Structure 1
């Protein structure tokens, strides 16, 4: 399903179904941040004031900024966070925190959802620097939002937990099972959320295609999207290893991802070990 298909107005029953899924509106704090960042000359003090207007969000941001993901610096204020990490990275962290606030999984089976999303974001930042896949803030945002369609699908479809089990055990594409059972999938819904929230286009496209591993080899697809989808497989493998599990998705697309980055088996294993070690540190 393409981005145009997700977003285009239609009387089609599939469109009506997608409209019935609750897509949280873009938070006003995010709108203010994006407007400042889109200014001809974004102001660090102005962005600091916007972020500091929400005390709880500011505290959560500082906790993240001092995590091992960013070298465990001693950052005591929003101004320091902006100076050390940069405007875009701080905005990406805030966007993730706002997503947690707006998308609150109520199902017990999703209790660890944001924990896994945080690890994926951490791993995407690590790989963006190690493999030179693009800006760390874009990679971080993709990592956090990659699976945001899951809690939204869970909220809409009472039997979606069963769908997740079946999709995870399927030898075919994960989203094919979702499409067969619900006429849409979490990648399409996550893409719609990302677009509605004004996230970078490469993030929206990468979310849409993150279970479509053939796109990694498609030279007509932007390199940034191909690299993020490939990196997401490396992240998935490490997360599953950290949890003591085998990655079914790695079996489907791991070889393609390694070929994209020119990684041999040993190099891929070493990256996985480094990521798992970083997860243990947190």
Structure 2
């Protein structure tokens, strides 16, 4: 009696893009951030519990007290404890600031091409908070988080691809095509896609993740089907980008690509836009 041997099932080939993305090192979510997010998700977050989480890390504690006693937050008061610092700044803003500090620790930007990466990211985040409050659009702490994280894919791609510095230089000088189009053409992925993946892995909000993914796709600003929070973050980031570039004496090619759409979405006239940019530049000089 013969025994028939069933043919082996063909193994589905893995998507090359998935394979590529798996080869890029995404820093795991810091345990301190997970603890902080867990407490913030409670129906009534406890300032005491949050202060204990932060106090468990000496570096975070020192950084928070320094921020609370800075000119931006102190208003003449002197925070002597973590709980006082939380009272001065507010729970949500503290969470945004701590998330940023943890990101800076977890995502080093050591290449020459990205020498000022975290300085610019921090300035963008501060500008996003200013604009969110000034225009009364969105939540300032969410705007802060997006401003800080929107380009976090850059150092991760710089670490993965030996020739990414060339790609970054070419994309930065591209006057018409999307920055991400150059990246995708050369590496089959982009810093926006990798930054979105990081944001999701770190438990950031869905709006922040989507805004990171689409922040170089300015057509989203005209798309009424896209979430207002996502469109607002992208529009505000263009204003922040223009202010940072003018402060540094540079031309913003991103503003040239999407600035008009951002102003139209935000309902800003040309003189109103110029006034906001000037206020931001003045605030940068005062730091």
| TM class, shorter-length | over 0.9
Q: Deviations over 1:87-144 (max 9, x none)?
A: 1110110000000000011212222110000100000000110112211110110111
The 1-side partners of 2:128 and 2:109 are apart by 23
The answer (yes or no) to whether the contact 1:147–1:190 under 8 Å persists in 2 is: yes
Equivalent in the alignment of 2:53: 50
Structure with bigger RCO (C-alpha 8 Å, 6+ apart): 1
The range that moved more, 259-268 or 178-187, is 259-268
Match of 1:20 among 6, 20, 23: 23
Equivalent in the alignment of 2:34: 31
Match of 1:176 among 176, 181, 189: 181
Equivalent in the alignment of 2:5: none
Q: Name stretches of at least 5 consecutive residues in structure 2 with no aligned partner.
A: 1-12
The answer (yes or no) to whether the contact 1:167–1:178 under 8 Å persists in 2 is: yes
Question: Number of residues paired by the alignment?
Answer: 273
Q: Does 1:225 align with 2:230?
A: yes
Structure 1 pair 103–61 and aligned structure 2 pair: CA distance change class (3 A): same
Equivalent in the alignment of 1:77: 81
1:40 shift after superposition: 2.1
Q: Deviations over 1:171-201 (max 9, x none)?
A: 1111000000000000000000000000011
Q: Name stretches of at least 5 consecutive residues in structure 1 with no aligned partner.
A: 1-9
Equivalent in the alignment of 1:268: 273
Equivalent in the alignment of 1:105: 109
The 1-side partners of 2:253 and 2:75 are apart by 33
Match of 1:125 among 105, 126, 129: 129
The 1-side partners of 2:210 and 2:114 are apart by 24
Structure 1 pair 160–72 and aligned structure 2 pair: CA distance change class (3 A): farther
Structure 1 pair 63–12 and aligned structure 2 pair: CA distance change class (3 A): same
The 1-side partners of 2:132 and 2:122 are apart by 15
Structure 1 runs of 4+ aligned residues shifted over 4 Å read none
Task: Name the SS of the counterpart of 2:199 in structure 1.
Answer: helix
Structure 1 pair 66–134 and aligned structure 2 pair: CA distance change class (3 A): farther
The answer (yes or no) to whether the contact 1:215–1:226 under 8 Å persists in 2 is: yes
The 2-side partners of 1:182 and 1:278 are apart by 38
Match of 2:259 among 254, 262, 267: 254
What pairs up with 1:3-14 in 2 under 5 angstroms? 11-14=14-17
Q: Does 1:142 align with 2:149?
A: no
Q: What TM-score, normalized by structure 2, do the two folds share? A: 0.92
